């Protein structure tokens, strides 16, 4: 039977009851396989989202639909979006929708003046949102047209996130694939109760089994960036050229949470700049991250591995904290740069950060600010196989040292790890009250060593 174009966008499939407010199921009626239909498909999708009511669902069939960016949904209540096909975004910025930078509503967006590109997909103020698939549902950002060293010099971070979610509660994301993101891939900020299951991210310039100069040209392609309370990410994978699974901070300005806390990331594969906490910059609202566990993770040819980082702040009234963080049962295969980095963020786009050229070509790496509190950080059963550089850094501020840092069976195999760049010390270690136990080798030089295994369990 034919399908009338009601709502100009959808095909009604059925009604649960005869009441006019009953939940409805719709099929997205975009034009598949036609890149020239991208603007119309985007308009149709936005009209679909604007017309959804509580309990409604949308099916995107197993076809490829081109979109032009600027997909927006707001106030979605108990809505299900089933993506069985591919939503593919136009390459390059020429036809990409823009807006005034001051209108960007994502708090993680760098503050700018002038004109900025819109996000590929931006959802806000949602509750009970389910993003699901029968398998193979894909968002494709056509990132190759945005990446590259020259593009970065020209445009910096004025690139669209592939998927952003702001201010949401009770969200499930499952069985989606995210590929070729122009910028950050998946961002969820100020979220209460979020589960991400069986989702996978791939941002590669080529199929090289590592992160060489060519692949690293896909700058800032973060994987899963999350900030909020009660977050569970499991059975997922990320291969990218920036932070893989990133726990971002929140402060008193948050609506659903005033601190990022109660986060569990488990049974994952990650290769990029690591399993990351931060960067966290002190704020007057007390930026904080508490009770985070990463466990059962395999990191094949990752660039960085375990990465806990703070940003700088020059406001004496600002404050921040990283408290109760556990990494457990982590395996790294031939990490290419620093396997373990606990300390100041190493980046090029943040004032007061540690230089990307440190320590080989630069001495510029200030410690974390004294307004940051680092407490109870545990690495347990971490195996680092054949790293190309020294095991890492644990770098606090001697005026306010990190407290309760425990390395419990953190082992580099072979037992003669690379001495580049820290020589026989293997670690750069200062401003830390640390303990190495249960056969940790090599031991960071500023840690106390004990053979008594510390007891403990997941923070989840």
What is the total count of domains within the chain? Answer: 1
Q: Is residue 403 included in any domain, yes or no?
A: yes
Query: Could you tell me how far CA 266 lies from the centroid of its own chain?
Result: 14
Whole-angstrom Cα distance, residue 74 to residue 3?
27
For 155-189, how does the pLDDT look when each residue is reduced to its tens digit (9 = 90+)? 999 999 999 999 999 999 999 999 999 999 999 99
Question: In terms of Cα–Cα distance, which of 236, 256, 119 is closest to 187?
Answer: 119
Q: Is residue 379 included in any domain, yes or no?
A: yes
The pLDDT, as a whole number, for residue 308 is 98
Whole-angstrom Cα distance, residue 105 to residue 167?
11
SS3 call for 60: strand
DSSP category for residue 453: P
Q: Is residue 291 included in any domain, yes or no?
A: yes
Q: From residue 59, how far is each of 140, 212, 259 by CA, in Å? A: 18, 39, 35
SS3 call for 425: helix
Query: Could you tell me how far CA 96 lies from the centroid of its own chain?
Result: 24
Task: Answer yes or no: are the C-beta atoms of 225 and 181 closer than 8 Å.
Answer: no
Residues 6+ apart with CB under 8 A from 336: 210, 211, 301, 302, 303, 388, 389
Q: Is residue 339 included in any domain, yes or no?
A: yes
Q: Is residue 97 included in any domain, yes or no?
A: no
Whole-angstrom Cα distance, residue 280 to residue 371?
11
Whole-angstrom Cα distance, residue 17 to residue 23?
8
For 209-254, how does the pLDDT look when each residue is reduced to its tens digit (9 = 90+)? 999 999 999 999 999 999 999 999 999 999 999 999 999 999 999 9
Q: What is the pTM of this model?
A: 0.93
The pLDDT, as a whole number, for residue 435 is 98
The pLDDT, as a whole number, for residue 452 is 57
Other CB atoms within 10 Å distance of the CB of residue 173: 25
The pLDDT, as a whole number, for residue 456 is 46
Tell me which residues of the chain have a pLDDT lower than 70. Answer: 1-21, 109-110, 452-460
Give me the numbers of helices (H) and strands (E) for the chain, helices first please: 2, 31
The pLDDT, as a whole number, for residue 385 is 96
Residue 174 β-bridge partners: 197
Task: Answer yes or no: are the C-beta atoms of 283 and 245 closer than 8 Å.
Answer: no
Q: From residue 46, how far is each of 9, 123, 307, 396 by CA, in Å? A: 9, 11, 38, 48
Q: From residue 211, how far is each of 151, 217, 331, 413 by CA, in Å? A: 19, 9, 18, 21
Query: Could you tell me how far CA 243 lies from the centroid of its own chain?
Result: 6
Q: Whole domain around residue 339: which residue ranges?
A: 243-460
> Which tokens is 45 given?
């999708």
Task: Answer yes or no: are the C-beta atoms of 147 and 181 closer than 8 Å.
Answer: no
Residue 441 burial by CB count (10 A; 0-12/13-18/19+): exposed, middle or buried?
middle
Q: Is residue 238 included in any domain, yes or no?
A: no
Helix (H) or strand (E) holding 337: none
Q: Is residue 171 included in any domain, yes or no?
A: no
Q: Is residue 387 included in any domain, yes or no?
A: yes
The pLDDT, as a whole number, for residue 135 is 86
Whole-angstrom Cα distance, residue 262 to residue 254?
15
SS3 call for 317: coil
Residues 6+ apart with CB under 8 A from 299: 269, 270, 271, 274, 275, 305, 330, 331, 332, 333, 335
Ramachandran area for residue 70 (φ above 0: left; ψ -120 to 50: alpha; else beta) = left
Whole-angstrom Cα distance, residue 158 to residue 96?
12
Whole-angstrom Cα distance, residue 56 to residue 109?
31
Question: In terms of Cα–Cα distance, which of 184, 116, 182 is closest to 146?
Answer: 182
């Amino acid at each position: 039977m034919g399908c009338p174009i009601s709502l100009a966008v959808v095909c009604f499939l059925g009604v649960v009851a005869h009441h006019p407010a009953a939940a409805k199921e719709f099929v997205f009626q975009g034009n598949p396989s036609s890149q020239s239909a991208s603007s119309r498909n985007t308009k149709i999708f936005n009209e679909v989202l604007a017309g959804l009511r509580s309990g409604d669902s949308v099916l995107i069939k197993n076809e490829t639909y081109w979109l032009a960016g600027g997909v927006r949904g707001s106030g979605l209540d108990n809505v299900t979006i089933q993506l069985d096909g591919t939503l593919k975004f136009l390459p390059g910025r020429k036809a990409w929708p823009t807006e005034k930078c001051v209108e960007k509503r994502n708090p993680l967006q760098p503050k700018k003046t002038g004109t900025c590109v819109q996000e590929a997909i931006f959802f806000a103020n949602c509750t009970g949102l389910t993003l699901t698939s029968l398998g193979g549902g894909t968002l494709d950002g056509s990132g190759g047209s945005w990446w590259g060293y020259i593009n970065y010099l020209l445009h910096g971070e004025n690139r669209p996130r592939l998927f952003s979610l702001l201010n949401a509660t009770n969200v499930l994301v499952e069985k989606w694939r995210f590929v070729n993101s122009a910028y950050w891939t998946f961002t969820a900020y100020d979220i209460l109760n979020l589960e991400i299951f069986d989702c996978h991210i791939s941002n590669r310039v080529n199929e090289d089994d590592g992160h060489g100069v060519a692949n690293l040209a896909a700058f800032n392609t973060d994987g899963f960036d999350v900030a909020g309370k009660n977050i569970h990410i499991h059975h997922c994978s990320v291969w990218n050229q920036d932070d893989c699974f990133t726990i971002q901070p929140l402060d008193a300005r948050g609506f659903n949470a005033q601190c990022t806390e109660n986060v569990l990331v488990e049974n994952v594969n990650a290769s990029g700049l690591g399993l990351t906490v931060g960067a966290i910059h002190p704020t007057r609202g007390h930026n904080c991250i508490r009770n985070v566990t990463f466990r059962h993770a395999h990191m094949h040819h990752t660039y960085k591995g375990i990465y806990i980082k703070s940003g700088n702040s020059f406001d004496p009234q600002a404050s921040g904290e990283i408290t109760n963080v556990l990494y457990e049962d982590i395996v790294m295969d031939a990490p290419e740069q620093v396997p373990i980095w606990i300390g100041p963020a190493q980046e090029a786009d943040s004032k007061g950060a540690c230089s990307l050229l440190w320590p080989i070509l630069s001495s510029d790496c200030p410690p974390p600010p004294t307004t940051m509190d680092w407490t109870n950080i545990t690495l347990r059963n971490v195996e680092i196989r054949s790293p190309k550089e020294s095991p890492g850094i644990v770098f606090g501020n001697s005026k306010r040292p990190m407290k309760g840092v425990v390395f419990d069976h953190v082992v580099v195999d072979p037992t003669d790890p690379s001495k580049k760049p820290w020589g026989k010390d293997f670690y750069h270690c200062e401003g830390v009250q640390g303990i190495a136990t249960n056969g940790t080798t090599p031991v960071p030089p500023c840690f106390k060593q004990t053979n008594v295994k510390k007891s403990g369990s997941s923070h989840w």
